[in-house]
Structure 1
């Protein structure tokens, strides 16, 4: 399988770009970030009900691929937490569930937030008027125009979980 950006297969599952925005009725983003010795990467642990994370489509067990547009494959747990906190009151996390992760690994591809098939979900905020079927749509100028993939990189992680606020 080629890793040329314009050759992303039509059957490629959609990663989710979860745009978390802090809300006044909830303290923090409402998820735990953790790493496991048995598998590489940073994963979503518990997702709190009613939290910005839940409202932006994050699910327990998701693997984080990018934070604010930057691939975090080679970063430590601490570095990932710092990236999440770098932009006050919001963060964008590209995540994949286990089935999507397995597909990209099998095809030796890495999901990118610039792919055409990325599913964008944003924490609803007061005054949003761009809701379609219960999900906020990206801005008109925010459509991703070019799919982009690269070879899978290996990483290792063995750090404990941390509540991200």
Structure 2
């Protein structure tokens, strides 16, 4: 979610949520004429980097779990974790396991909301509509030319 908001901001500026939702209607048909570099940057930014970061966090979490629960002599990752301070490892393991997912989710939602102006989108959906308040139906308007000109 964060990398998608970052990628859209880097490539398209700061589009409002209405514009993003409009372009999502096209689905994969909208990608037919898309620049290949844009697709590659999307894959790298929104797929490769998040998956790599998630795998790194899982490896770190596994190393700490093995060190704390098993004899760290048998596992290479646990030996690496054992080189650190035991109190530090316990604190980091507890934060990763208990608090970090919730904090990251809240921070991602806040960043996503700010990037796509979600509060403005919600306000426009439920707030006063300028156009419906000031719209004049064309069939109810009489137009008379004051001094008609012949263009022929």
TM over 0.5: no
Which one has the bigger helix percentage? 2
Higher strand share: 1
TM-score (norm 2): 0.22
TM-score (norm 1): 0.21
Return the index of the structure with the highest Cα Rg. 2
